[in-house]
Amino acid sequence: MTATVVRAGTSRWYRNVQLSLGMGTAAGAGLLLVGDVDPMDEMVSESIRTVPGTVLLALAAGGLAAAGAWLLAGVRRVLPPSGPLTALLSVWCVSLVAVVAFPTNLPGTEPGVAAGVHRFGAALMAALPPLFALLIARRTGRGADPARVRWLRAAGWSAVAACVAFAAVNGPAVLLGQGPLPFAGLAERVLLALVLVVVGLCAWVLEGEERTRWT
């Protein structure tokens, strides 16, 4: 015989994911105002040309890294042990720290080692969320809300498509030293918005499964 067990209240890890995402989103939105960067054609990382932009960029990345760490806590609490999922989330958090610790080169300057590490970290930051989102959707159990899982899958595949399109269009130009193409900044910001949505949905799915368990 089965019974549904409904948890009262909200788990600490889930609240902290939302708070961290909120901080990252607010800082990212602030970059549109004080980052001194054209949101249509320039990359978010170029916000380091001003002190307020540097601070907001660090807060945005730090908020996402904290959200990833708390999401990992939720994964470990709700889902069966998974080495690949733990590795993906851990690497994602490290990539966000690398984006801040190793700033990009500004336009008109030669890229160095720091810029190379920055670009690699930025690539991981954008590419990993849809992967761990789809893995979370696959590993959810009977207690998960099917509607929430469908939303997560849809967001995950949308982020995969956005990553592939962005890399295909702008990657070759950047590698050849030509710089991003027109409207690359807008495309990057759309991709980052999808990352925020994906991480939030991951937490939403896990929180739903934790609230309702089958025994």
Task: Indicate whether 3 belongs to any domain.
Answer: no
DSSP for 66-80?
Answer: HHHHHHHHHHHHHSP
Say how far apart CA 151 and CA 128 lie, in whole Å. 18
End-to-end CA distance of the chain: 9
Task: Indicate whether 37 belongs to any domain.
Answer: yes
The pLDDT confidence band at residue 215, using thresholds 50, 70 and 90, is very low
The DSSP symbol for 180 reads: P
Task: Indicate whether 4 belongs to any domain.
Answer: no
Task: Indicate whether 195 belongs to any domain.
Answer: yes
Q: Look at 80-94, 145-159, 167-181 and tell me which has the smallest mean pLDDT.
A: 167-181
The pLDDT confidence band at residue 180, using thresholds 50, 70 and 90, is low
Task: Indicate whether 23 belongs to any domain.
Answer: yes
Q: What is the pLDDT of residues 95-116, one digit of tens each?
A: 999 999 998 877 777 778 988 8
Say how far apart CA 96 and CA 68 lie, in whole Å. 10
Task: Indicate whether 1 belongs to any domain.
Answer: no
Based on the structure, what is the number of domains in the chain?
1
HEC string for 79-133: CCCCHHHHHHHHHHHHHHHHHHHCCCCCCCCCCCHHHHHHHHHHHHHHHHHHHHH
Q: What is the pLDDT of residues 8-64, one digit of tens each?
A: 457 899 999 999 999 999 998 898 887 678 878 778 888 888 888 899 999 999 999
Range of the structural domain that residue 92 is part of: 10-214
Average pLDDT over residues 146-171: 88
Say how far apart CA 11 and CA 201 lie, in whole Å. 15
pLDDT at 213 over 80: no
Nearest to 132 by CA among 191, 90, 161, 162: 90
Length of the chain: 215
The DSSP symbol for 5 reads: E
pLDDT of residue 142: 66
Task: Indicate whether 2 belongs to any domain.
Answer: no
